[in-house]
Amino acid sequence: MNVVRAYARAKALVGLRFRFIVHVAVYIPVVVLMLFVDRFLTPPGEPSGWAWIAAWAWGIGVATHGVGVTLLADIHSKTPLQALLRDRRSAFLLHLFAYVNTVILMATVNLIESPLPRPERLIDALLYYWFIWPTLFWGIGVFYHWFFSYLLRGWRVKKLKQRWTLKVMREIDGVDRPEKLAGIDVRSKQRR
């Protein structure tokens, strides 16, 4: 690995870690302030507990960011293809983490805050348990992300993106024969 590429990877990783630290440094005092306002400044008789829901929802985002920075950062890939597969799988795992935690949050809010009695008919259950709908539709997207990350692996998508990138290099930057410059064999149909 050349020094320029190593420096760029290290710089990107440091940037990710720094942004995560900033997110945590903002999250903690704001959540403490929200909990204080919810506990001590909410008038008697008014609904309270909103700060916990907000803290949990925001915490999902911060935790997702933390997982991405600490566990899924790409520091071991030796080839661009390994890096591409690692990036796709890391992105899927981050989305799965956010999905599962958000579904848990929505189910908790639905079951605690919904004033209706427990439904007896299926249609009433589908209306009462509203968290089922975003779980289902978001789950379809998560399934496709898994499919393209682990099963299909995006070989054709990678080639399509390479062709588009080369076209943009020609059009915008006026680069003549960018495939030679980038070291890409655009004629090859083989998987690497």
pLDDT at residue 188 greater than cutoff 80: no
Domain range annotation of the chain: 1-73, 78-152, 154-192
pLDDT at residue 185 greater than cutoff 60: no
Question: How far is Cα 15 from Cα 69, in angstroms, rounded to an integer?
Answer: 10
Rounded to 10 degrees, what is the CA torsion of 28, 30, 31, 37? 150
pLDDT at residue 44 greater than cutoff 90: no
Residues 132-147: tens digit of each pLDDT: 888 888 889 889 888 8
E strands of the chain, at which residues?
none
pLDDT at residue 159 greater than cutoff 80: no
Question: How far is Cα 98 from Cα 141, in angstroms, rounded to an integer?
Answer: 13
- Residue 49: pLDDT band (50, 70, 90) is confident
Percent of the chain with pLDDT over 90: 5
pLDDT at residue 189 greater than cutoff 60: no
pLDDT at residue 29 in the model: 93
- Residue 178: pLDDT band (50, 70, 90) is low
- Note if the pTM is more than 0.95: no
